[in-house]
């Protein structure tokens, strides 16, 4: 497998704080790479750097062989990186369909409005929002908004999907539902880079996992390797969830 | 479920032939709304002419100007979500450029007005590069600042007559067949500009560009992450929203025969167009029309009413407050809420 | 069909009307009931009203065997040009005004003139001295006031007597009238060998003249000519006094003519004003009341002495009345011809309009005076100080 | 040279009053993210209160300041509950329009009651004359009162319980709410305070210059400029911004025609906005 995304020596500071510091890793085509780490480890900053919301201080980001460092988010999106946000950012006044159409229109495919409408309808249907197409996004439940977040990202037909804690705040049934959805997305050929705190989920979904701590890479490897890595355990000391979830993981 | 996702994505991925421009046009032409606009414009243009009612013409002329202002303002406020308080600067600058070209250089009125529109559009693009980096209230204030700075500049700009402004001599109407004829011609042109503004609004609203603008209006950061090229779209719409007001300004001040800084860059007029927009309903194409006609009628009535002439501002203010607090969607928002079916007919 | 109906209606009315034809003549105009020109415009409006009531009390205007009662239709233009055009159009198209009076101030006159010309209505221009409007090829405008170019000529004459080497500061409102006056006077002053120490214009809404007065002090000027209208002029006079600007001569346009100017107290003393008319003038009118009769009548009715705006308003009505009576018709074309021929003296002084198409309607006969506020027996009074043959007191320098 | 100095000193004196006028605007803006477009109209209300007070009782205009403060505060609280409360947290357009409509109502009522003729509050204080240049006593007095009120406001926000509550709500409304602060009441208090400040500045301006019902507009525009110079929600910054604006005006007038001052002012305004959206003096946030 070739690397779809390559992050090299990436750094970003806010004031005196190193949010991300000299970070390097790659995401291979077709895999699900999990990104974990305690709060404030720099995970969301990393996502913001990758999709161009903020520029890095140093380092390179190469996507599909093209250097996209410092490109604005809409160019990055057009190249095929889509993102579902941790804090949901639906376009509240627009309907579900229109939300997805925005994704389809301005994503990698650069679809016409009519094509986008068709594509958006199908994707909305597929994440279970088919019957709510004309509902304003603001009227959806939390779970609905999460789905919308996903659907909108998918409508762009990205090559790489950044998922930022899409499971947070969902109940167990909804989580199970979402996990299946994510698996489906991967099967359709989309590479996924995901941040998640629900350990059971990320351990079961990810092909590989990168652990961040204080903006630096603490460890990288297959889920089981990560779970047994003493550095990781130390970083999560006091956070027994990691140990228990890993033990419970298949 | 997972199967359906992969299928859907795969289906969406399958390359489709793009709709050609001509095809798109044809599709639009089959919808009722553009024809409604055309019919409305024709009615406005012809009724006072056939009835030979000059009073009606004058009242409709003002309404046409207001519709043009409110409808173009809607592109910024309703669609892109940028509150442009200094929108009148386009109207005033366009007026100055058009009147100047028509008097000093004896340029044909239509050409002068088009030139005014294009120049103002270009200037707006340049201003936009600066002030569109600001968001929310800061942008609103900056537009006020731009309007006031340009007003102060024009007040001191002697080629344009400084504070005195430019007066048209009666000869200026000769190419149009004398003053009486000239007024009719200005009126027809202004009504046409109104119709074109509405069609522009409709075209943008039903286009991909419009969808992008709506996304920006809802949440600019999210829109950018979704791939909407936000700086370019904002600059374009700011520039485009200046074109027709500038053309209308040129025609209006030519018709008035005088242009001076206080009336050309009157901040109150700017805010009045926002009031009309809110009254009729932002984000719709029909809203500005309804708002402008209602407001013009109301204002006209209050202005000459013996009882209310002293309270016109109070009543207009109270009306605005009620709309803002209780009917933020304006007339169209209320109507669409009542009769959702109408959405298909009245954009 | 419509015509027939109209004829029918007219016939019916004629049948019902009493034998002596008493008809109504509608005169339309706007006044600044609100806005910055409120004070000046109100005086003019009172002149109009007094004339109307006098005419109607005497049975109306008699022309061609009919007598016309005067009816006014007027609106508030808020001192704004945008409203003026809208309202004059309405006056003509909806209220069917047969004749028009101008609004107050040159800027608004110019704005209204466009509409009256576009519709071919005769408009008597009272509150506008600026001349540019009459050089645009208009046919139906008639100006009563002496043009802006002559406004400060008298003040310069006076100044020449007192101090031929005076350094003059021009400080004037940035509006068509004041600007035209200042620019014309500046040229006259240079020809007369005065030094122009400073030239500053200020926007119409100015309330803080501190920066300008500092510049006046820095320039070392002896005399200040300029001003604009009531609101800014009275403020300027007050602040000149408060900041002790050390000027020997101050002539301001318009503002000091108003009786209200006396409320400034000490700040008013010595301030002079070019005036179209003062109650003390002794013109012998061809028709209508004498200046003294008018002053008495006006003071009784409004409890305030008339300034020149009031007299101008009254005279405007008289001139129109005279032209209609001479023409024997209310046809605008015929009335305009009479106005073109007119050369009369009213309480306001002589009136004659230019007929050269290049400046048609411009006033070419009326003369101005200079008045100055002085303290007499502890009371503030306005004395005529120029020309010499008409003066009631010597100028304070 | 002395001419320039005199001009600058005049600028500082008037600027202090501009600063006070802007303080009310910036407080409301900073605390509840509402740009009060009725600010100018409220300044005018302050002017008329002082006018009627002095003409009815013959008392000195300066004695009226505390009363103006109290009336302004009460009016502000009422205005908040009528027209502002509902639009808190809504898109910026809504609060702009809500306050603007209020502006129309106040100006409309004022015009009906007092017409648009100019009014004067006769105050006379001995001034200081230096080499032909006179600094009037009213200017000096107004500047002094402005500085005293600014200092009082600073101390109020810093050291009193309600002041601290306002600051807490300004920095994070949700957190303040969670800590048991009744945010709506605090907001209404802040709005009342802002309106009171605007009224007092109007009262002081009335002692300097004549005014009409429509005078507020230009002071409102100046307040915008000052707020942008001084930074949002920052009373100390507003005072500095006001003085800065006064100095710019004072420095500009000896060298350029007075009619160019607005170009300089608004040019500066737009450029400052673009370059420093948070204001030049934002670093000194109180």
Residue A239 has pLDDT above 70, yes or no: no
Read off the DSSP letter of residue D119.
Answer: B
Contacts of C219 in chain D (CB under 8 A): none
Contact C242, C213 (CB under 8 A): no
- How far is it, in rounded angstroms, from Cα C337 to Cα B324? 56
φ, ψ dihedrals at C125, nearest 5°: -100, 115
Tokens of C68: 């016309």
Chains contacting chain D through 3 or more C-beta pairs under 8 A: B, C
What's the pLDDT score for residue B296? 84
Q: In what order do the strands lie in the sheet with C22-31?
A: C61-63, C66-76, C22-31, C99-101, C123-125, C141-143
Question: What pLDDT, in 10s, does the model give residues A20-62?
Answer: 888 899 999 989 999 988 877 888 889 999 989 999 999 999 9
- Where do the H-state alpha helices sit in chain C? 2-16, 38-57, 81-93, 106-118, 153-162, 176-191, 210-219, 230-242, 291-302, 308-327, 332-341
What's the pLDDT score for residue B11? 54
Question: What pLDDT, in 10s, does the model give residues D134-153?
Answer: 888 889 999 999 999 999 99
Least confident of B307-316, C222-231, D254-263: B307-316
In this prediction, residues C212-239 reach a mean pLDDT of 90
Question: How many C-beta neighbours within 10 Å does residue C257 have?
Answer: 25
Determine how β-strand A216-221 pairs with β-strand A208-213. Answer: antiparallel
Contacts of B152 in chain D (CB under 8 A): 259-260, 262-263, 265-266
Question: What pLDDT, in 10s, does the model give residues C4-32?
Answer: 444 444 444 444 444 456 789 999 999 98
What's the pLDDT score for residue C334? 93
In DSSP terms, A25 is beta-bridged to A7
Contact C83 B163 (CB under 8 A): no
pLDDT band per the 50, 70, 90 thresholds, residue B79: very high
Percentage of chain B exceeding pLDDT 70 = 91
Question: Measured between CB atoms, does D1 come within 8 Å of chain C?
Answer: no
What's the pLDDT score for residue B4? 55
Tokens of A84: 């579902």
Question: What pLDDT, in 10s, does the model give residues B264-273?
Answer: 998 888 888 8
Question: What pLDDT, in 10s, does the model give residues B139-193?
Answer: 888 898 899 899 989 988 989 988 888 888 877 888 888 878 888 999 999 999 9
Cα of C145 vs its chain's centroid, Å: 6
Least confident of A148-157, B218-227, B328-337, D241-250: B328-337
**CATH code of the domain made up of C2-146+279-359:** 3.40.50.2300
Closest to D202 in 3D by CA, of D17, D34, D25: D17
Contact B313 D104 (CB under 8 A): yes
**Which CATH code of 3.30.2320.80, 3.40.50.720, 3.40.50.2300, 3.40.50.300 fits the domain covering C149-275+369-390?**
3.40.50.2300
- How far is it, in rounded angstroms, from Cα A184 to Cα A126? 10
CB < 8 Å from A in window 182-221 of B: 206-208, 211-212, 214-215, 217-219, 221
What's the pLDDT score for residue B306? 66
Query: Can you give the residue ranges of every domain in chain C?
Result: 2-146+279-359, 149-275+369-390
Mean pLDDT of chain D: 87
Question: What pLDDT, in 10s, does the model give residues B318-338?
Answer: 888 998 888 888 888 888 878
Residue B68 has pLDDT above 90, yes or no: yes
Contact B2, A183 (CB under 8 A): yes
pLDDT band per the 50, 70, 90 thresholds, residue C98: very high
| Candidates C38, C211, C228, partner chain D, best to mutate (most D CBs within 10 A) | C211
Most confident of A174-188, D119-133, D197-211: D197-211
Closest to D194 in 3D by CA, of D39, D87, D50: D39
- How far is it, in rounded angstroms, from Cα B189 to Cα A93? 36
The residue whose two tokens read 């005195």 is B164
In this prediction, residues C175-180 reach a mean pLDDT of 86
Tokens of C284: 């012998």
Contacts of D86 in chain B (CB under 8 A): 325
D222 vs D232 pLDDT, higher one: D222
Tokens of D11: 């600028």
In DSSP terms, D129 is beta-bridged to D134
Question: Measured between CB atoms, does B119 come within 8 Å of chain D?
Answer: no
- Residues with Cβ < 8 Å from D225, sequence gap 6 or more? B145, D241, D245, D265, D266, D268, D269
In this prediction, residues D50-79 reach a mean pLDDT of 91
Q: Which domains does chain D have, with CATH numbers?
A: 2-284 (1.10.3470)
Number of inter-chain CB pairs under 8 A, B vs D: 123
CB < 8 Å from C in window 75-114 of B: none
Read off the DSSP letter of residue B284.
Answer: S
Complete DSSP assignment for C304-318: S---HHHHHHHHHHH
Residue B228 has pLDDT above 70, yes or no: yes
The residue whose two tokens read 């911004």 is D241
Chain C nearest CA to B208, separation (Å): 39
In this prediction, residues B226-246 reach a mean pLDDT of 94
- Three-state secondary-structure class, residue A26: strand
pLDDT band per the 50, 70, 90 thresholds, residue C137: confident
φ, ψ dihedrals at C222, nearest 5°: -95, -30
What's the pLDDT score for residue D280? 63
Contacts of A187 in chain B (CB under 8 A): 2, 5-6
| Candidates C30, C32, C74, C85, partner chain B, best to mutate (most B CBs within 10 A) | C85
Length of chain A: 250
Residue B25 has pLDDT above 70, yes or no: no
What's the pLDDT score for residue C74? 92
Residue D26 has pLDDT above 70, yes or no: yes
- Three-state secondary-structure class, residue B38: helix
φ, ψ dihedrals at A193, nearest 5°: -120, 115
- How far is it, in rounded angstroms, from Cα B42 to Cα B67? 15
The residue whose two tokens read 């209208």 is C229
CA atoms within 13 A of residue D210's CA, in its CB half-sphere: 22
A143 vs B217 pLDDT, higher one: B217
C387 upstream amide cis, omega within 30 of 0: yes
Question: How many C-beta neighbours within 10 Å does residue C286 have?
Answer: 13
C327 vs B11 pLDDT, higher one: C327
Question: How many C-beta neighbours within 10 Å does residue D123 have?
Answer: 18
Q: Which element (helix H / strand E) includes C28?
A: strand C22-31
Contact A122 B228 (CB under 8 A): no
pLDDT band per the 50, 70, 90 thresholds, residue C229: confident
Contact A132, A156 (CB under 8 A): no
- Residues with Cβ < 8 Å from A38, sequence gap 6 or more? A213, A235, A236, A239
Contact C214 D259 (CB under 8 A): no
Residue D97's Cβ-count burial label (10 Å; 0-12, 13-18, 19+) is buried
Q: Which element (helix H / strand E) includes A221?
A: strand A216-221
What's the pLDDT score for residue B202? 92
What's the pLDDT score for residue A224? 85
């Amino acid at each position: 497998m070739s690397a779809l995304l390559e992050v090299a020596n990436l750094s970003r500071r806010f004031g005196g704080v190193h949010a991300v510091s000299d970070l390097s890793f790659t995401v291979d085509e077709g895999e699900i790479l999990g990104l974990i780490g305690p709060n404030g480890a720099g995970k969301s900053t990393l996502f913001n750097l990758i999709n161009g919301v903020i520029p890095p201080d140093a380092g390179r980001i190469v996507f599909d062989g093209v250097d996209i460092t410092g490109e604005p988010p809409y160019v990055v999106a057009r190249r095929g990186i889509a993102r579902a946000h941790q804090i949901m950012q639906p376009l509240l006044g627009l309907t579900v369909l229109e939300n997805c159409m925005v994704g389809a229109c301005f994503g990698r495919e650069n679809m016409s409005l009519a094509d986008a409408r068709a594509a958006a309808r199908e994707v909305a249907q597929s994440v279970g929002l088919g019957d709510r197409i004309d509902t304003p996004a603001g009227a959806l439940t939390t779970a609905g908004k999460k789905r919308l977040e996903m659907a909108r990202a998918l409508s762009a037909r990205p090559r790489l999907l950044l998922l930022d804690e899409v499971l947070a705040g969902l109940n167990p049934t909804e989580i199970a539902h979402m996990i299946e959805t994510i698996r489906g997305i991967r099967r359709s050929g989309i590479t996924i880079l995901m941040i998640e705190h629900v350990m059971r989920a990320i351990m079961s979904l990810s092909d590989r996992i990168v652990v961040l701590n204080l903006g630096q890479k603490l460890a990288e490897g297959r889920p089981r390797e990560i779970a047994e890595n003493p550095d990781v355990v130390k970083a999560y000391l006091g956070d027994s969830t990691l140990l228990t979830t890993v033990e419970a993981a298949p | 479920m997972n199967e359906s996702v992969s299928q859907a994505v795969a289906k969406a991925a399958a390359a489709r032939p793009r709709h050609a421009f001509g095809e798109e046009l044809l599709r639009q032409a089959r919808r009722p709304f553009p024809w409604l606009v055309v019919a409305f414009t024709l009615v406005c243009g012809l009724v006072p002419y056939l009835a030979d009612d000059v009073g009606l013409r004058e009242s409709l002329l003002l309404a046409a100007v207001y519709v043009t202002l409110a409808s173009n303002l809607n592109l910024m406020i309703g669609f892109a979500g940028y509150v442009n308080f200094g929108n009148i600067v386009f109207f005033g600058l366009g007026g100055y450029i058009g009147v100047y070209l028509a008097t000093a250089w004896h340029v044909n009125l239509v050409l002068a007005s088009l030139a005014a529109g294009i120049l103002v559009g270009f200037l707006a693009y340049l201003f936009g590069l600066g002030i569109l980096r600001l968001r929310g209230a800061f942008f609103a204030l900056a537009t006020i600042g731009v309007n006031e700075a340009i007003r102060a500049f024009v007040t001191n700009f002697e080629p344009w007559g400084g504070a005195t402004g430019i007066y048209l001599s009666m000869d200026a109407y000769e190419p149009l067949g004398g003053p009486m004829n000239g007024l009719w011609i200005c009126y027809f042109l202004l009504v046409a500009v109104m119709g074109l503004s509405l069609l522009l609004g409709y075209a943008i609203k039903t286009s991909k560009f419009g969808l992008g603008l709506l996304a920006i209006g809802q949440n600019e950061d999210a829109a950018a992450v979704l791939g909407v090229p936000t700086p370019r779209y904002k600059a374009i719409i700011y520039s485009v929203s200046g074109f027709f007001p500038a053309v209308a300004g040129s025609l209006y001040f030519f018709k008035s025969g005088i242009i001076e800084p206080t009336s050309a860059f009157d901040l109150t007029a700017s805010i009045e167009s926002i009031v009309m927009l809110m009254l009729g309903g932002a984000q719709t194409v029909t809203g500005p029309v309804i708002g402008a006609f209602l407001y013009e009628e109301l204002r006209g009535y209050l202005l000459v009413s013996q009882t209310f002439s002293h309270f016109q501002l109070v009543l207009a203010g109270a009306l605005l407050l009620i709309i803002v607090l209780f009917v933020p969607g304006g007339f169209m928002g209320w109507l669409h809420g009542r009769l959702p079916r109408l959405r298909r007919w009245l954009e | 069909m419509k015509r027939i109906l109209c004829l029918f209606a007219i016939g019916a009315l004629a049948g019902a009307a009493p034998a002596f034809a008493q008809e109504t003549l509608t005169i339309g105009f706007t006044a600044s009931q609100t806005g910055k020109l409120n004070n000046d415009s109100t005086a003019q409006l009172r002149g109009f009203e007094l004339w109307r009531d006098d005419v109607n009390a005497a049975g109306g205007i008699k022309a061609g065997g009919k007598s016309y009662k005067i009816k006014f239709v007027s609106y508030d233009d808020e001192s704004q040009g945008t409203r003026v055009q809208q309202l004059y159009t309405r006056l003509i198209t909806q209220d069917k005004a047969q004749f028009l009076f101008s609004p107050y101030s040159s800027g608004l006159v110019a704005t209204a003139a466009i509409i009256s010309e576009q519709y071919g209505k005769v408009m008597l221009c009272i509150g506008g001295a600026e001349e540019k409007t009459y050089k645009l090829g208009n046919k139906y405008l008639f100006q009563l006031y002496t043009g802006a170019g002559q406004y400060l000529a008298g003040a310069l004459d006076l100044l020449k007597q007192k101090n031929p080497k005076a350094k003059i500061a021009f400080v004037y409102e940035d509006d068509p009238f004041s600007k035209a006056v200042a620019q014309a006077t500046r040229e006259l002053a240079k020809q007369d060998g005065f030094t122009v120490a400073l030239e500053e214009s200020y926007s119409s809404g100015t309330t803080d003249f501190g920066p300008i007065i500092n510049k006046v002090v820095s320039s070392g000027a002896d005399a200040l000519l300029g001003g604009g209208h009531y609101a800014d002029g009275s403020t300027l006079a007050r602040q000149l006094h408060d900041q002790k600007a050390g000027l020997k001569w101050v002539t301001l346009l318009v503002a000091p003519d108003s009786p209200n100017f006396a409320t400034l107290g000490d700040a008013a003393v010595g301030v002079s004003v070019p005036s179209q008319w003062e109650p003390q003038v002794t013109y012998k009118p061809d028709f209508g009341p004498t200046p003294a009769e008018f002053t008495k009548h006006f003071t009784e009715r409004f409890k305030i002495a008339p300034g020149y705006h009031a007299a101008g308003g009254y005279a405007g009505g008289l001139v129109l009345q005279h032209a209609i009576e001479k023409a024997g018709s209310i046809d605008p074309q015929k009335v305009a011809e009479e106005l073109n021929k007119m050369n009369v003296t009213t309480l306001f002084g002589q009136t004659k309009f230019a007929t050269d198409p290049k400046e048609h309607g411009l006033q070419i006969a009326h003369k101005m005076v200079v008045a100055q506020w002085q303290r007499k027996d502890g009371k503030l009074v306005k004395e005529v100080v120029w020309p010499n043959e008409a003066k009631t007191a010597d100028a304070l320098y | 040279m002395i001419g320039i100095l005199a001009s600058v000193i005049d600028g500082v004196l008037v600027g202090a009053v501009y600063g006070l006028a802007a303080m009310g605007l910036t407080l409301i803006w900073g605390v509840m993210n509402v740009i009060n477009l009725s600010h100018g109209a409220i300044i005018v209300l302050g002017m008329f209160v002082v006018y009627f007070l002095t003409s009815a009782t013959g008392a000195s205009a300066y004695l009226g300041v505390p009363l103006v403060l109290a009336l302004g505060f009460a009016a502000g609280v009422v205005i908040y509950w009528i027209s502002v409360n509902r639009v808190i947290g809504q898109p910026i357009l809504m609060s702009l329009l809500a306050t603007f409509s209020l502006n129309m109502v106040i100006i409309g009522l004022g015009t009906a009651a007092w017409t648009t003729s100019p009014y004067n509050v006769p105050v006379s204080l001995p001034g200081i004359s230096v080499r032909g240049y006179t600094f009037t006593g009213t200017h000096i007095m107004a500047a002094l009162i402005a500085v005293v009120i600014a200092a009082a406001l600073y101390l109020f926000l810093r050291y009193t319980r309600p002041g601290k509550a306002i600051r807490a709500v300004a920095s994070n409304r949700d957190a303040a709410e969670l800590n048991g602060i009744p945010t709506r009441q605090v907001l209404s208090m802040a709005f009342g305070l802002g309106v009171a400040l605007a009224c007092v500045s109007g009262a002081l301006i009335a002692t300097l210059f004549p005014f009409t019902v429509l005078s507020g507009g230009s002071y409102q525009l100046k307040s915008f400029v000052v707020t942008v110079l001084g930074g949002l929600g920052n009373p100390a910054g507003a005072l500095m911004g006001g003085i800065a604006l006064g100095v710019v005006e004072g420095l500009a007038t000896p060298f350029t025609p007075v009619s160019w001052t607005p170009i300089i002012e608004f040019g500066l305004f737009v450029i400052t906005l673009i370059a420093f959206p948070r204001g030049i003096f934002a670093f000194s946030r109180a």
